[in-house]
Amino acid sequence: MNQTLKCIVALLWSITVMPAMAQQKEPVDYADPLLGTSESRWMLNPGATMPFGMVQLSPDNQGGVWKGGYEYTLGNVGGFSHIHSWTMAGLSVMPTVGPLNVVQGPADGATTGWTTGYRSRVDKATEVATPGYYAVTLLNGNIRTEITATTRAGFFRLTYPEAQDAHILFDLDIPAEYAYEILDAKITKVTDKEIEGYSKQKTGFNEYTVHFVARFNKPMKSFGGWQGKDVKSNISDIAGKGHIGAYADFDAAKGEVIMLQTGISLVSIEQARMNLETEMNPFNWDFDAVRKHGRDTWNSLLSKIKVEGGTDINMKKFYSNLYRSYCARTTWSDVNGKYVDVCENVRQLKDPQSPVYGSDALWNTFWNLNQLWTLVNPDLADNWVKSLLEIYKYGGWLPKGPAGIEYSGIMEASHEIPLIVSAYMKGIRNYNADTAFKAMLHNQTVEGINHPCGGFAGNKFLNAYMKLGFVPDELGQVSNTLEYAYDDWCVAQMAKALGHDKEYKTFIKRAANYNNVFDKETKYIRMKHKDGTWVKDWTPYCCTSFDKSGYLEGNAWQYTFFNPHDVQQIINLVGKDEFNNRLNEGFEKSSKFNFNADADIYDRVPINHGNQPNMQAAYLFNYSGKPWLTQKWAREIMNKYYGDSPYYGWLGDEDEGQMGAWYVMSAMGLFETNGGASIKPFYEIGSPLFAKTVIMLDPAYYSGKTFTIEAPNVSDTNRYIQSATLDGKPLNKPWFYHSELVDGGKLVLTMGPQPNPSWGSKPEDAPPSMSKRK
């Protein structure tokens, strides 16, 4: 090739190929932390965090309300706080200019143009949120405010366009989704560039201390603080309780950038400083380097699943929901492995790289997060099991929702058990299996207690359940019978795997307790008295309960389909035709409401995807001979329940990534109704969204390098499976084993616009259940 031709080729390449390369998006570019933040939970915000971050640094603009924190439609910010874990909050930072004001002010003040506090209106057009980074311009002083984070430390970059008399406030008493009381606090000036402090806080069952260290890149002009209405200047420290905080003053020159780094810990100020120095010092005050580190970390995680051949909207929904599955739960152990246990004692982990986690309940995560974590991130699933066992080691019980490493008692049953069992059955076993089994036995054979160190541990109604075979109406929700029975089945599987025949027989018998509360006359799960008679004042849609008798956050219609390990027995009792007709009619009715029971109006919306009790519903048709209805309705939920904007991401209550994980699994065309806890775990097949999905398998746990799901001709119209092959061989049933996935290979699903009633519909094609077909 002559030199002239080479130049022409190079020019053409630079004109056509280089722009395409520059514009090529990575998975992290599709993930939008702002998605769904209008009417979202405290834990799901647009802020800067790392996967399971201790620091979840985010703007707050609401008062102390349910689903408090950040609301996209509000044009103000009241502060950027560090902790957005369930029932926990703390350490808000707010840059201001002009006269000092230490009161945050009402949430509606800034949006209506007036304010009685330091809250600032914001320019929404300047708002940017990507995984690990958030920025907005505060109209009070036009301060460009940027935040990023490592796992345990935060980083602020504040740019002042004009010369300003600047204040940076540290407010310890802020509105949150759950109100908390400050019992004792102190903030101290250490040097002209550093302050430290602590805040001992209490929220219901949860008492914890937030320790922190904050350092600036330039000296403070002065330091002050407030306690109640008493504001003091030029002091060395401020202490007290209730409304308390501190401020650092600066002379900000025109265009000056002031940077702030923060570290926190539940253990001590020294540990907070260690977290800060260990995680931030390597970056040497380079904000962009920390931001890039966060982006790269998230992109590496999100790239474990690569999808192509779908719409941009579905790509955005997919990676945003995958992001949500890892951003809301919390690491509570420090960089060196120190943490505070359930009895407020400082403990030391043997492996600091395997942290102790905090979270909302693990209620029904077997239908979403468990599946995703064990498949895509078995290392993190491993860490979760070890974290649960670490809490059991010192507290004596497995936690169902270890908020701040405390027994919360939130929700019912002990659904941390399915996570442990599923991990074990999938070969995720870097822990003592005998200890895990012992812990499960304790939770399933000893009635729960008000723990001496705080909170409630275990199952409330276990004695009656073990004696009667059901939870009677006089004590609590009949739905607990079903949830306890599922956990019993999980324990039975673990017993069988470990060779404990006696325990297997005991728990597999208890796993059939579904039958004890099924009314063969009405063909519904019913509330039952201690004497064995049915509660008379009852309808299939009645009796939703949150803390008394009835059905926990559901009704009889929904809980009749709740038997994750034994769907076949539901079909046996209800009858296949009635099963299919009732379930399909429920979907038809609920589709009008986008599968969400707004205001918990269950009689109108039987398929309530906005809450946990029937998130498996679409996949039940795989068991009843009509897998094409699984394909239809799983796709309809993905289309209607899930959105792609800040105003509409997911309806209902997105509990720390559960709705997100369901979407990710379903978009790949996979699901596990029994939570993957059987001796041989398996996946049921739905309707994939993408022409090609590649799962990068972790070689430390799974032998195959990748597993590919191809769906030729897939589209919203072509949602029905016409035929299938697994590793080149015909697959004529709507399920396959986990072992067949993790040894690598390919699932090919040929898609079309009409159902193929002959594929996967024979009785013998149904996935395994505990009971046999009748």
Residue-by-residue DSSP string for 608-668: -TTSGGGTTGGGGGGTTT-HHHHHHHHHHHHHHTB-SSSS-SB-S---TTHHHHHHHHHHH
pLDDT at 599: 80
pLDDT one-digit tens code per residue, 197-229: 999 999 988 999 999 999 999 999 999 999 999
Q: Which residues does residue 685 pair with via DSSP β-bridges, in sequence order?
A: 670
Q: Could you tell me the pLDDT band of residue 107, with boundaries at 50, 70 and 90?
A: confident
Q: What angle do CA 318, 322, 323 make, to 5 degrees?
A: 120
For residue 113, what pLDDT is reported? 53
Question: What pLDDT sits at residue 111?
Answer: 52
CA 563 to chain centre: 23
Dihedral sign computed on CA atoms, order 512, 516, 517, 523: positive
Please report which confidence band the pLDDT of residue 7 belongs to, taking 50, 70 and 90 as the band edges.
Answer: very low
Q: What is the pLDDT of residue 14?
A: 42
- How many residues in the chain? 774
Taking alpha carbons only, the member of 740, 663, 764 closest to residue 305 is: 663
Please report the pLDDT score of residue 601 as a whole number: 82
The two tokens of residue 623 are: 């068991």
Contact present, 275 and 331 (Cβ < 8 Å): no
pLDDT, residue 18, reads 39
**CA-to-CA distance for 560 and 771, rounded, in angstroms?**
16
CATH 1.20.1050.60 placement within the chain: 333-460
Question: Using CB atoms within 10 A of its CB, is residue 376 exposed (0-12), middle (13-18) or buried (19+)?
Answer: buried
Query: Can you give the pLDDT at residue 1?
Result: 47
Return the pLDDT at 546.
86
Please give the average per-residue pLDDT across 573-582, as a whole number.
98
Sheet holding 735-737, edge to edge: 670-671, 682-685, 735-737
Tokens of 703: 């032998």
- Distance (Å, rounded) from C-alpha 552 to C-alpha 764? 34
Alpha-carbon span 421 to 417, nearest angstrom: 6
Phi/psi at 375 (nearest 5 deg)?
Answer: -85, -50
pLDDT for position 115: 55
- Burial class (CB within 10 angstroms; exposed 0-12, middle 13-18, buried 19+) of 502: exposed
CATH placement of domain 333-460: 1.20.1050.60
Can you state the angle between helices 627-640 and 658-668, rounded to 10 degrees? 130
Model confidence pLDDT, tens digit, residues 469-483 = 999 999 999 999 999
Token pair in block for residue 774: 């009748």
DSSP 528: B
Q: What is the CATH number of domain 30-301?
A: 2.70.98.10
- Average predicted confidence (pLDDT) for the chain: 94
Residues 6+ apart with CB under 8 A from 369: 325, 362, 657, 658, 661
The confidence score (pLDDT) of residue 157 equals: 98
Q: In 209-358, which ranges are continuous DSSP H helix?
A: 269-280, 287-302, 312-327
pLDDT score at 20: 40
pLDDT at 196 over 90: yes
- Residue range 542-549: average pLDDT? 90
What SS3 class is residue 196? strand
Tell which phi-psi region holds residue 745, choosing left (phi > 0), alpha (psi between -120 and 50) or beta: left
For residue 598, name the pLDDT band (cuts at 50, 70, 90): confident
Instruction: With a cut of 80, say whether residue 112 has pLDDT above it.
Output: no
Portions of the chain given CATH number 2.70.98.10: 30-301
Cα–Cα distance measured from residue 68 to residue 40, given in angstroms and rounded to the nearest whole number: 8
